[in-house]
Amino acid sequence: MSSHSAKHPRWPGIIEAYRSRLPVTPETRVVTLLEGNTPLIKAERIPGEIGADIELYIKYEAMNPTSSFKDRGMTMAMTEAANRGGVEAVICASTGNTSAAAAAYASRAKLKSVVILPNGKIALGKLAQAMMYGATVVAIEGNFDDALRIVRELGARPEFAVVNSINPVRIEGQKTAAFEVCDILGEAPDFHFLPVGNAGNITAYWKGYREYHRDGLSKKLPRMFGWQAAGSAPIVEDRIIENPNTVATAIRIGNPASWIGAKEAVAQSNGRIDIVTDEEILDAYRMLARLEGLFVEPASAAPIAGLIKAHKAGLIPAGSRIVATTTGHGLKDPDTAVNSGIARPVVVPSSTEAVLRLLGL
């Protein structure tokens, strides 16, 4: 078990909670928004709905400060940048969760944040958080790869720190989610299901589980099952996807930064990476909200879609304990929710009788 419960009645953020397992020193000035300690929620209805004799837990990462798992890596990346000396600004290329986390933690660290994006591909709803936190958003005449190239080139200068997933310290922060799962359950689950985009999370969870297992804090290791969207499945297809396409924008990535780490996690854990369709993702997305009260962004529903698929294929033994990570909040992508066939408000006269009639009571 981690020591925070005894020593820290209030959660101190992941770096303080797991300091001995992270690349920091006693002198390190920590930049935190008290990320981590997210709920592990037992799914009460989904197993029955899909006819599976399993114990299912949802690691609900939407409860991080900027509403996605990215905060775990960002507290580490920003702490490293703030302690390096000479850094004036952090930079990233991202339209979504990374830019939100980078801008929030940069404001905390008293650093400038810069987000570089392809012009015309900017959904302001996605960037609203970053802009509120004070990021400078720069649109370039080019594509996402061009943006990332510029980020890398600027990152070679001492006054800039890159906080995209090419920064390896992000994985260190993200592995703490595996520690939390083991701390709550008492050991690792039989299976861990995750969405796979840049593949940092599946890499990080596997690293965390291995460290706890090595140190005797978990008797077993889970099998890692990662899920890519059908139009954006470079690891499954074993090729770079030039124009990835899926409703699950957070995993719409054609050339994952942690490709090798993901393949190692799957090989070493006797796991798998497979494909789910957008239709399967949206079914699972609605199911999580309707049956469990959990509203997630579409990418987060990929592991539940994957669970349904794996169960149908007979890959999950009865009695298995499964953890599925949902990576971001549904309000990250309200357009998908509104357009996904949910019921609209019904207008009736302003009387109790009219409301009762509508309800059929």
What are the tens digits of pLDDT across the range 253-307?
888 878 888 899 999 999 999 999 999 999 999 999 999 999 999 999 999 999 9
Buried b (16+ CB within 10 A) or exposed e, 191-212: bbbbbbbbbbbbbbbbbbbbbb
What is the per-residue pLDDT for 7?
56
Dmax (CA) for the chain in angstroms is 69
The whole-number pLDDT of residue 3 equals: 47
Q: How far is CA 202 from CA 29, 174, 237, 334, in A?
A: 28, 9, 18, 26
Range in 38-42, 83-87, 242-246, 278-282 with the lowest mean pLDDT: 242-246
CA R_g for the chain: 21
pLDDT at 235 (0 to 100) = 83
Helix%, strand%, coil% for the chain, nearest 5: 45, 15, 40
Q: What is the CB-side half-sphere exposure of residue 355 using CA atoms within 13 A?
A: 4
Query: Does residue 357 surpass a pLDDT of 60?
Result: yes
Confidence band, pLDDT 50/70/90 cuts, at residue 1: very low
CA–CA separation, 45 and 142 (whole Å): 46
Is it the case that residue 4 has pLDDT exceeding 60?
no
Assess whether pLDDT exceeds 60 at residue 122.
yes
Give the alpha-carbon dihedral of 64, 58, 44, 12, to 10 degrees: -40
DSSP-derived letter for residue 162 is: E
Per the CB < 8 A criterion, the answer to whether 91 and 116 are in contact is yes
Task: Return the beta strands (E) in the chain as ranges.
Answer: 40-42, 54-60, 89-92, 112-118, 136-140, 160-162, 191-195, 223-229, 272-276, 320-326
Q: Return mean pLDDT, the chain.
A: 92
Average pLDDT estimate for 110-117: 96
Mean pLDDT, rounded, for 309-315:
97
Going by the DSSP 8-state scheme, the letter that residue 100 receives in this structure is H
Place of tokens 């995750």: 194
Total-model pTM:
0.93
Question: Per DSSP, what are the bridge partners of residue 329?
Answer: 296
pLDDT over threshold 60, residue 223: yes
Question: Which whole number is the average pLDDT over 84-112?
Answer: 95
Q: Decide if pLDDT at 143 tops 90.
A: no
Residue 166: pLDDT band with limits 50, 70, 90? confident
How much is the pLDDT for 329? 95
Cα gap 20→253, rounded to integer Å: 33
**DSSP state, residue 329:** B
